[in-house]
Amino acid sequence: GAGVSQSPSNKVTEKGKDVELRCDPISGHTALYWYRQSLGQGLEFLIYFQGNSAPDKSGLPSDRFSAERTGGSVSTLTIQRTQQEDSAVYLCASSLAGSWTSGGTEQFFGPGTRLTVL
Amino acid sequence: RKEVEQDPGPFNVPEGATVAFNCTYSNSASQSFFWYRQDCRKEPKLLMSVYSSGNEDGRFTAQLNRASQYISLLIRDSKLSDSATYLCVVNGYSSASKIIFGSGTRLSIRP
């Protein structure tokens, strides 16, 4: 079946512009995560959606970052007034459930959007 | 101190060798542990979960040491295709925001 898809795959923008990144999770997955990965670094948690619950936004680095998930499916991450330090790969993942009990539930990642802010 | 620390490597070993990496974590309340694999310029994929009693999947063995707060990954009879970055993942609570990814250990297998 189809995996997690993200668009665009690459985005080059100028400092100060707004960008929107899209994530289509696997059908039926209730949990959706956004991460950011800078070159040679680990994944930085940004935001988490679980079903109809209020999202966990605790990882968003500033108020320039926001995300929505419409209808419990597609999610959009928006970065306003982009800065050069926003340059990174933005990864979206989904899982069947968000409860990380013993054993956990596997996160399936999309291919990412590589954002370059000039 | 980082919440999850890994030796960044790179580990450069010959094909057929056995290689092991550790990952230390700072939160003693951490509950769930995983190893993910990430190929160059690709997304991470789950390699294996790590269970308290240790677990094995083919050539891969994962172990958890709660007393010393580290997890390990052992790869036996390494293959060229094992070349990748291995990410340690630790969850401190039943909350996605406490899922911490390590920076990864880069492994390169040479012929």
Q: What is the pLDDT of residues B73-106, one digit of tens each?
A: 999 999 999 999 999 998 865 555 567 889 899 9
Give tens-digit pLDDT for B24-76: 998 888 878 999 999 998 999 999 999 888 999 999 999 999 999 999 999 99
Listed in sequence order, the residues at least 6 apart from A79 whose beta carbon sits closer than 8 Å to its beta carbon are: A18, A19, A21, A64, A65, A86, A115
Of B31, B87, B99, the CB nearest to A102: B31
Give just the sign of the alpha carbon dihedral B23, B25, B28, B29.
negative
CB A33 within 8 A of CB A47: yes
Report whether B10 contacts B22 (CB < 8 A): no
Note down pLDDT in tens along chain A; length 118 residues.
589 999 999 999 999 999 999 999 999 888 899 999 998 788 888 998 988 888 989 889 999 999 999 887 999 999 999 999 999 999 999 988 755 443 446 889 999 999 999 9
Whether residue A110 and residue B43 make contact (CB cut-off 8 A), yes or no, is yes
Residue A103 is predicted with a pLDDT of 42
Q: What is the pLDDT of residue B29?
A: 82
Under 8 Å between Cβ of A74 and A24:
yes
Q: Which two tokens stand for residue B98?
A: 């406490």
Q: 3-class SS at A64?
A: coil
**Alpha-carbon distance A31 to nearest alpha carbon in chain B (angstroms):** 9
Please give the single-letter amino acid code of residue B37.
Answer: R
Compute the average pLDDT of residues B3-8. 89
Q: Of the candidates B89, B86, B25, B30, which has an alpha carbon nearest to the alpha carbon of residue B60?
A: B86
- Which residues of chain B are within 8 Å of residue A101 when distances are taken between CB atoms? 31-32, 94
Q: Which of A48, A100, A106 would you mutate first to test chain B, the one with the most B CBs within 10 A?
A: A100
Contacts of A109 in chain B (CB under 8 A): 43-45
Do residue A50 and residue B99 have CB atoms under 8 angstroms apart? no
A-chain residues within 8 Å CB-CB of B51?
Answer: 103
A110 vs A6: CA distance, rounded Å: 6
> What is the chain B residue with the closest CA to A4?
B43
A48:B97 CB<8 A? yes
**Chain mean position to CA B25:** 12
Name which of B63, B88, B85 is nearest B74 in CA terms: B63
Reduced to 3 states (helix: H, G, I; strand: E, B; else coil), residue A71 is helix
Q: Which of A4, A105, A107, A113 to mutate to test the interface with B (most CBs of B within 10 A)?
A: A107
Which residues contact residue B95 at a Cβ distance below 8 angstroms, ignoring those fewer than 6 apart? A56, A100
Distance CA B18, CA B41 (A): 25
Per-residue pLDDT, A102: 39
> Please, what is the Cα angle at A101 between B26 and B35, to 5 degrees?
55
Contacts of A99 in chain B (CB under 8 A): 94
